A and B are shown apart, each in its own frame.
Chain A
Amino acid sequence: MTDRRRPAAAGRLLAAGVTAATTLSLTGLFALEPATATDDPATVEVDATNAALAGSAATPRKVVVVVRRIHLDAPPASSAGSAAPRVARAPAAPVPASTRSQPRTRTRGS
């Protein structure tokens, strides 16, 4: 794995219209940290082709990245600008507690 793959993958995603602020997760192969430091909570899962990664000096490596799905917590692309979201510190998924806690509030349907 070389560092050169990171900009390659990021470049593909950028070409696909995904912001560089996106966290990448290449299923089953390797994980990439955010291409640039950001508080953007967007998460994109991508598939990478094994064959494409198994390159050699004779056959330059090429990473093919396919955007599989964009999660609901990805902020939508604005018509202009990209101000930081107000809920940037929010968790991408809920975290269960390991113990039963005393009820602090009651919710109802709406």
Chain B
Amino acid sequence: MSIPLDDLAVVDDLPAGSHQRSFRSMGTDVHVLVVGGPDSLLQRARDRIEELERRWSRFLPDSEVSRLNAAGGTALAVSTDTLRLVELARHAWTVTDGWFDPTVLPALRAAGYDRSFEQLVAAEQGPMAVPTPPLPPGLAAAEVDRAAGTVRLPAPVQFDPGGIGKGLAADLVVDEMLEAGAEGGLVNLGGDLRVAGTSPDGLGWGIEIDTVGPWPGQLSLIAGAVATSTPRRRRWVQAGRQRHHLIDPGTGRPAAHPAPAITVVAGQAWQAEVLATAALLAGPRARDRMLRDNGASALLQFDDDRPVALAGMEAFLR
């Protein structure tokens, strides 16, 4: 079987009863694999991911997230998906002590990331003047009213679902595939990955992770999620200086010396994404506490040295 897209999906012959598809959505490469269930599940998964993109993309002016950011503090009616997204984002911001902060969007724009990443790279050079970045306000004052079906973001808050949106999308789609009759499922949204149920060979889900050093990385898990955060992937030049997308919430600027990469294994993909971002930005003590408190494990990667397994990651490495 040949998969035409990208470097994301593994070219792989699947046992009978398993099907997969790769496509572009949410500004990234998507890989969906389903075991058992009706033939329509792959298309339903794609339709669902594209629906979530229409609701959550900050690059679509009519998306619910764009409308919330433009609402100037007014409560807006949104879908239950977006209610859930904002609830989880606020919760993640709280329990990571703000290290995961989805309100860094103005700071990210100040660092030059003011268009889609494809356009940013094509432009090659950001603005010459470097504005002073605003400090991210956090999500403490965001209001989610489930009864009314509304979300209100205070005026300074610019919400960027980014990674947590991709992670939650992977969680939602995998759960919905199983509810619709699949025996197992995998959704990989640009590296935010969730697996559940029976794998194609029934032995567990093998996941190959991208490593920055000369070390192969393969994980095996029965159920759970994987996400890797790295300042290496999304880089651009602003006024002659290299920039990356990992904003330190304490300064509003790209983090000064983050580790090259960290891969987190957690129960759900949105958790893995949140913890990967927070763990890369926080110091070792806060990082280890966050992993331990959330039943997650991690692989901290370096350029020239062996990766370090944290919080029981050895159990997942193969």
Contacts and interface: CB of A to CB of B under 8 A. Distances in A.
A80 B146 CA distance: 6
B218 interface: yes
B12 A73 contact: no
Determine the main DSSP class of B at the interface with A.
Answer: mixed
B80 A86 contact: yes
Interface string A69-110: 111111110111111011101111111111111111111111
A103 B83 CA distance: 35
Given A71-B295, A86-B80, A110-B229, A81 B146 contact: yes
Contacts of B87: 75-76, 78
B233 A100 contact: no
B282 to A, nearest CB: 14
Given A87-B172, A104-B33, A104-B186, A109 B261 contact: yes
Interface in B236-276: 261, 263, 265-268, 270-271, 274-275
A93 B233 contact: no
Nearest to A100: B318
Interface residues of B, number: 86
Contact of A73 (B80, B207, B233, B268): B268
Interface in B43-102: 80-81, 83-84, 87-88, 90-92, 94-96
Contacts of B200: 102, 104
B48 to A, nearest CB: 12
Interface of A: 69-76, 78-83, 85-87, 89-110
Given A72-B294, A90-B268, A104-B200, 5 more contacts: A80-B146, A96-B316, A100-B220, A109-B233, A110-B229
Interface of B: 7-10, 12, 28, 31, 33, 80-81, 83-84, 87-88, 90-92, 94-96, 143-148, 163, 166, 168, 171-172, 175, 178, 186, 188, 190-193, 196, 199-201, 203-210, 212, 218, 220-230, 232-234, 261, 263, 265-268, 270-271, 274-275, 290, 293-297, 315-316, 318
